[in-house]
């Protein structure tokens, strides 16, 4: 048609030359449009890419396979808006999260179960059914003919909702998309359609829809049947196993190249030539040139040992691969079995280069395509490919058949290297643990923004993150804080730790800690590392550093060479008992929370909920905003005068000066220099005064009034008064 049209157009435009050119172009177009189309069988790529196109072919799964499937129903993205914040001096923040509900058709025949699920190549669901990300609800519809409408689809479509009978479905109800860039990820599913391996004969019978004769012991671990016809779905599968499906006139039969062949007698292969008066064999043979055949055959397949990633095994003749052929096989195979099948396929192809045509008397009319025969004077077996009856003779077309051991499959196969694969680890998420930290961390200079930090981790290595929320009214209402940082190294102490000194390295005491799981690890550091702030950890409420680490096994470690009371936490250097929280302080593993000034000196409830938590992990925080409070003064010295006065002096510290890198005096971070001095005896407050310098005289007259000039010892407590509150007290014990 295009030839006629373009010839006429060319004649009108350019005369005879134009007509010639138009005809040439038309023939090219016609050859592309009307070229005969071959049968389409299954391809590996069909199973690994998720589709949603109308009319997409759905595979019929046998055994166990990993497939992507086709999205057959979906809602629009579900947007959730949440407002948080709005404390004093802070605007409210609106955050958005997205989810999607959809159904994926997995198989055009019933299945038994869905096991692992991958999202963008990462494991979303483990072999035990545990989820690695927040999914919402998930259901599997097995695909029988009595399948009911899924309630989620019914809620969306109403009375017109399809049940998708005969199709196995995976239904996601609000899959959270935050982990996937707020889009539906590419999903693949490990689907079990039949328990254990399935017989090749059973596969053929189901796809053909009829009883199939013959026998074969070949089995399949997994197979995805697809294509534009039954023959298209089976042709490659049968060829790779050395099996042929033939119609013997009464039924379909599976025939292979193994077994006994029927010998054809030489007498029946000779006949009298009446015109010449002599006898001649009724047999002719041909052999295709070696240059027309591939020197190597490669099989691509799905390797269950590599999470069903595509594998390639190749067989070659004498190591030559100048002409290679590749067969895509949508079958789950071990590498050794694939190598074995490649060797057998190459051997059959080279054996099949020899063909023959024979003529036999009528009594051989019972021979059918697929039968194997032996020819006199010629080695090996020959398989009948076609049969014709003409001029009183039975004419058979034959192809040489290669007898290959193990054609039905073997457990051991042949040695093969499956190659390495970076599979997604199947680690359980586990329960969440959470610790809130109210301390001065990471502030190189003084800040006026109150903040605290949250550390979280899981009790198992697969933990990723959890959703955080805070309540300031005892749990009556909650404010979303987003998600946790990556897993912190945390656990709890197992041994007691006596009170220590913030000015001396503790080379005597040791601390034993047990981390949440064995994949967590602690390392030693030298003096330079300690001075740089390495190995800073929270123990109870005290921040300390450790230099030496001794692994004890099972996630337990002994810590020694301790630097105590770091970052102004001398007040927390009391005797530590076992069972206190331990957190290694690392910036990337902590979430910073800025609750606003109104939250200071309040009780906060914190909650963390991950996909592995039956109930949320909780923590309580008596929040003081220690990062904006001044540290306690140091070097308290009291000197008694002859008059009875007691002169007390001290050295101030500043919350911007923990590093003290230049050795110079640190500028005052507070609005003014204010101090509170308390005189106490046995916990009773005797006197409290404020002063504006780093010294105070406890006059003799006051001492007589307070009774501190005689009797039992008393203590002096000195606190700096900062813009956000008082420091912890520095204590000095005095004798009358």
The per-residue pLDDT for range 395-407, each reduced to its tens digit, is 999 999 876 544 3
CA atoms within 13 A on the CB side of 155: 8
The answer on pLDDT for 654 being more than 50 is yes
- Distance, in Å, from the CA atom of 728 to the CA atom of 570, rounded to the nearest integer, reads 9
DSSP 160: G
Sheet bearing 122-125, strands edge to edge: 122-125, 113-119, 187-192, 60-67, 222-225, 324-332, 296-303, 309-316
The answer on pLDDT for 714 being more than 90 is yes
In three-state secondary structure terms, 14 is: helix
| pLDDT interval class at 249 (50, 70, 90) | confident
Q: Which of 116-130, 236-250, 662-676 has the highest mean pLDDT?
A: 116-130
Arithmetic mean of pLDDT over the chain: 86
Global pTM reads 0.75
In three-state secondary structure terms, 647 is: strand
Q: According to the model, what pLDDT value does residue 280 have? A: 56
Contacts of 127 (CB under 8 A, 6+ apart): 115, 116, 426
Tell me the pLDDT tens digit for each residue of 330-345: 999 999 999 999 999 9
Q: How far is CA 72 from CA 173, 545, 567, 732, in A?
A: 14, 57, 59, 77
Q: What are phi and psi of 9, to 5 degrees?
A: -65, -45
Assess contact for 693 and 721: CB atoms under 8 A: no
The mean pLDDT value for 606-634 works out to: 94
In three-state secondary structure terms, 309 is: strand
Lowest model confidence (mean pLDDT) among 36-50, 78-92, 191-205, 667-681: 36-50
The mean pLDDT value for 317-332 works out to: 82
Q: How far is CA 403 from CA 259, 348, 380, 545, in A?
A: 8, 8, 8, 74
| pLDDT interval class at 27 (50, 70, 90) | very low
- Distance, in Å, from the CA atom of 441 to the CA atom of 300, rounded to the nearest integer, reads 55
Q: Which residues pair with 192 in a beta bridge?
A: 64, 113
Helix H or strand E segment including 155: helix 151-157
Assess contact for 237 and 222: CB atoms under 8 A: no
Domains of the chain, each with CATH number or no CATH: 1-36 (no CATH), 45-192 (no CATH), 198-255 (no CATH), 256-275+283-303+312-401 (no CATH), 432-626 (no CATH), 634-734 (2.60.40.10)
Helix axes 335-351, 230-240, angle to 10 degrees: 90
The mean pLDDT value for 462-476 works out to: 93
- Distance, in Å, from the CA atom of 84 to the CA atom of 477, rounded to the nearest integer, reads 12
Q: Cite the beta strand spans of 108-237 per DSSP E.
A: 113-119, 122-125, 137-141, 168-176, 187-192, 198-199, 212-213, 219-220, 222-225
- Distance, in Å, from the CA atom of 646 to the CA atom of 686, rounded to the nearest integer, reads 15
In three-state secondary structure terms, 351 is: helix
Tell me the pLDDT tens digit for each residue of 472-508: 999 999 998 989 999 999 999 999 999 999 989 999 9
The mean pLDDT value for 216-223 works out to: 89
Tell me the pLDDT tens digit for each residue of 114-133: 999 999 988 999 999 999 88
Percent of the chain with pLDDT over 90: 57
In three-state secondary structure terms, 202 is: helix
Q: Is 292 left (phi over 0), alpha (psi -120 to 50) or beta?
A: alpha
- Distance, in Å, from the CA atom of 561 to the CA atom of 505, rounded to the nearest integer, reads 7
- Distance, in Å, from the CA atom of 476 to the CA atom of 605, rounded to the nearest integer, reads 10
Q: Which residues pair with 399 in a beta bridge?
A: 355, 383
CA atoms within 13 A on the CB side of 275: 0
Tell me the pLDDT tens digit for each residue of 39-66: 455 555 556 656 655 656 789 999 999 9
Looking up tokens 């047990």, which residue turns up?
Answer: 514
CA nearest neighbour of 404 among 345, 358, 317: 345
């Amino acid at each position: 048609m295009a030839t006629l049209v373009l010839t006429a157009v060319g004649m009108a435009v350019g005369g005879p030359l134009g007509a010639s050119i138009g005809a040439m172009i038309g023939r090219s177009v016609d050859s592309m449009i009307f070229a005969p189309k071959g049968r389409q069988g299954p391809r590996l790529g069909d199973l690994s890419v998720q589709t949603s196109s109308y009319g997409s072919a759905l595979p019929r799964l046998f055994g166990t396979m990993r497939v992507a499937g086709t999205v057959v129903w979906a809602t629009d993205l579900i947007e959730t808006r949440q407002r948080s914040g709005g404390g004093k001096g802070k605007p409210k923040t609106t955050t958005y999260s997205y989810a999607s509900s959809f159904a994926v058709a997995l198989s055009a025949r019933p299945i038994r179960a869905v096991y692992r699920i991958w999202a963008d190549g990462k494991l979303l669901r483990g072999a035990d059914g545990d989820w690695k990300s927040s999914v919402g609800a998930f259901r599997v519809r097995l695909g029988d003919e009595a399948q009911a409408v899924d309630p989620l689809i019914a809620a969306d479509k109403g009375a017109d909702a399809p049940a998708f009978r005969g199709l196995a479905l995976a239904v996601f109800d609000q899959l959270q998309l935050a982990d996937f860039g707020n889009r539906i990820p590419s999903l693949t599913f490990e689907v079990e359609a039949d328990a254990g391996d399935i017989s090749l004969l059973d596969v053929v019978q189901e796809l053909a829809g009829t009883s199939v004769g013959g026998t074969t012991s070949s089995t399949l671990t997994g197979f995805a049947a697809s294509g534009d016809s039954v023959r298209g779905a089976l042709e490659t599968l049968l060829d790779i196993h050395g099996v042929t499906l033939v119609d013997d006139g009464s039924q379909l039969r599976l025939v292979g190249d193994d077994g006994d062949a029927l010998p054809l007698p030489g007498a029946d292969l000779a006949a009298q030539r009446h015109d010449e008066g002599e006898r001649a064999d009724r047999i002719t043979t041909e052999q295709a040139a070696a240059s027309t055949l591939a020197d190597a055959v490669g099989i691509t397949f799905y390797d269950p040992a590599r999470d069903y990633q595509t594998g390639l095994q190749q067989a070659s003749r004498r190591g030559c691969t100048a002409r290679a052929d590749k067969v895509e096989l949508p079958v789950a195979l071990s590498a050794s079995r694939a190598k074995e099948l490649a060797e057998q396929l190459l051997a059959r192809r080279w054996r099949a280069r020899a063909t023959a045509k024979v003529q036999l008397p009528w009594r051989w009319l019972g021979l059918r395509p697929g039968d194997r025969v032996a020819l006199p004077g010629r080695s090996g077996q020959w398989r009948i490919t076609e049969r014709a009856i003409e001029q009183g003779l039975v004419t058979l077309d034959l192809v040489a058949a290669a007898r290959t051991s193990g054609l039905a499959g073997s457990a051991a196969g042949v040695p093969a290297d499956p190659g390495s694969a970076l599979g997604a680890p199947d680690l359980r998420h586990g329960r969440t643990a959470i610790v809130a930290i109210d301390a001065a961390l990471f502030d190189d200079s003084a800040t006026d923004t109150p903040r605290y930090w949250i550390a979280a981790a899981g009790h198992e290595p697969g933990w990723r993150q959890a959703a955080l929320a805070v309540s300031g009214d005892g749990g009556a209402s909650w404010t979303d804080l987003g998600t946790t940082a990556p897993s912190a190294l945390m656990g709890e102490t197992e041994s007691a730790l006596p009170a220590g000194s913030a000015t001396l390295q503790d080379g005597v005491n040791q601390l034993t800690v047990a981390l949440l799981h064995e994949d967590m690890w602690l390392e030693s550091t030298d003096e330079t590392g300690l001075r740089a702030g390495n190995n800073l950890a929270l123990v109870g409420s005290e921040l300390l550093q450790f230099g030496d680490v001794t692994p004890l096994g099972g996630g337990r470690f002994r810590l020694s060479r301790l630097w105590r009371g770091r970052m102004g936490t001398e007040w927390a250097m009391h005797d530590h008992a076992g069972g206190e929280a331990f957190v290694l302080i690392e910036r990337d593993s902590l979430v910073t929370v800025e609750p606003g000034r109104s939250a200071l000196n309040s009780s906060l409830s914190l909650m963390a909920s991950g996909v592995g938590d039956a109930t949320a992990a909780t923590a309580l925080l008596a929040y003081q905003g220690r990062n904006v409070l001044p540290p306690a003064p140091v070097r308290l010295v009291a000197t008694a005068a002859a008059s009875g006065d007691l002169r007390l002096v001290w050295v101030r510290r500043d919350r911007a000066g923990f590093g003290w890198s230049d050795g110079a005096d640190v500028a005052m971070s507070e609005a003014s220099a204010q101090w509170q001095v308390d005189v106490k005896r046995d916990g009773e407050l005797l006197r409290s005064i404020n002063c504006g310098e780093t010294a105070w005289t406890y006059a003799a007259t006051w001492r007589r009034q307070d009774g501190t000039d005689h009797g039992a010892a008393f203590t002096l407590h000195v606190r700096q008064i900062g813009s956000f509150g008082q420091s912890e007290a520095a204590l000095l014990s005095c004798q009358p």
